[in-house]
Amino acid sequence: MALISPSRRLRRTAFSEGVEAAGVKAYTVYNHMLLPTVFRSVEEDYHHLKSAVQVWDVSVERQVELRGPDAGRLMQMLTPRDLRGMLPGMCYYVPIVDETGGMLNDPVALKLSDERYWISIADSDLLFWVKGLAYGLHLDVLVDEPDVSPLAVQGPRADDLMERIFGSSVRDLRFFRYGYFDFQGRDLIVARSGYSKQGGFEIYVEDSAIGMPLWNALFEAGKDLDVHAGCPNLIERIEGGLLSYGNDMTRENTPHECGLGRFCSTQTAIGCVGRDALLRVAKEGPVQQIRAISIDGPKIGGSDRSWPVTTEKGKRIGKITSAAWSPDYETNVAIGMVRMTHWDEGDRITVETTDGPREATVHEQFWI
């Protein structure tokens, strides 16, 4: 792996002290901020995530706050998902598209009230798009990045650990719902959500000053639960089909290509900037789509580039955008975008990896 030079531009987080003390081994950069990628090893972290409980510094999920009389209207302009049923206490996964229907981000939005939303973003400066729209359309809304740092608690023992800090009622939270829970006299938003398929929570830590007190409290309380520092795990997220903006999709792609058509109510959702562009896609369907792909042969490692996907005759029909060896499924699991001629279950394709070609199989379901 390459080295990364220290820079103030690559921001530390409210939990960096804890992350360093826990022996972080590598990072990525996400929203101009450091995101841990490895603690013990990607495989050790993977097994532990699936069997115990981890605390993740996901401060990089910066919030875009919309506040004011036009907040709801603006929120609906951002996404093709129909938000009319969204109430305070709910989290919605919302593809964000531009006027051509191209993906700008794929965040989770929280409705705090009719006039206030948080958008917990993937890796792009969504703030700039939202501010530009609000200004250009003369909307009565304030748009800003507040001092909120999400801390995730993920894994099968997440409920047990969280109960010890926030009380037993935290167990009652339903998936993609949030509530307010006390920590040292502060009301923090806690949601049942997170970037893994192992279950767990995200705590929206408002005010960096309580970041380390909360981090320390979780580790102190979870000793007998084998709590460890962790981070979004490459293998586990591919197995679960959790997409990564910038890897698996970019501004080039529509939500439909990303398999997110179920979040697009282009017939009803009114006011979304990209609706007109997406009407045609919704009607005709995309010509390429994201698929789960298993790649034959020995273990493959992480890569800094996408790999072309071809037919056996060498015709280009897509690309692999994420891939890793899965110890549990004993195959290389991957996410890729493939053309409709080869996106059915069992279709055989060729992947041009950095180390040469590999045969592979297309699947309609991820490993969940």
**Residue numbers at the binding site for a copy of itself (CB under 8 A):** 1-10, 12, 24-30, 32, 34, 37-38, 98-99, 104, 123-137, 244-247, 273, 302-306, 321-322
CB of 123 to a copy of itself, least distance (A): 6
CA distances to 73, 83, 326 from 118, in Å:
14, 14, 34
Give every CB contact of residue 330 below 8 A, 6+ residues apart in sequence. Answer: none
CB of 14 to a copy of itself, least distance (A): 13
CB of 5 to a copy of itself, least distance (A): 4
Q: Which is nearer to a copy of itself, 3 or 87 (CB)?
A: 3
Which residue's structure tokens are 């380390």?
212
CB of 88 to a copy of itself, least distance (A): 27
Q: Which is nearer to a copy of itself, 98 or 163 (CB)?
A: 98
Sheet strands (E) in 134-217: 142-144, 148-154, 178-183, 186-191, 200-206
Which residue's structure tokens are 């592979």?
360
CB of 94 closer than 8 Å to CB of 104: no
Closest C-alpha to 80, from 253, 252, 264, 259: 264
Give every CB contact of residue 10 below 8 A, 6+ residues apart in sequence. Answer: 4, 29, 32, 33, 34
Which pairing describes strands 63-67 and 103-105: parallel, antiparallel, or unpaired?
A: unpaired
Q: Which is nearer to a copy of itself, 135 or 180 (CB)?
A: 135
CB of 4 to a copy of itself, least distance (A): 4
CB of 34 to a copy of itself, least distance (A): 8
Q: Which is nearer to a copy of itself, 226 or 355 (CB)?
A: 355
Q: Which is nearer to a copy of itself, 115 or 125 (CB)?
A: 125
Q: Which is nearer to a copy of itself, 186 or 247 (CB)?
A: 247
In whole angstroms, what is the distance from residue 48 CA to residue 50 CA?
5
CB of 267 to a copy of itself, least distance (A): 22
In whole angstroms, what is the distance from residue 197 CA to residue 204 CA?
19
Q: Which is nearer to a copy of itself, 115 or 145 (CB)?
A: 145
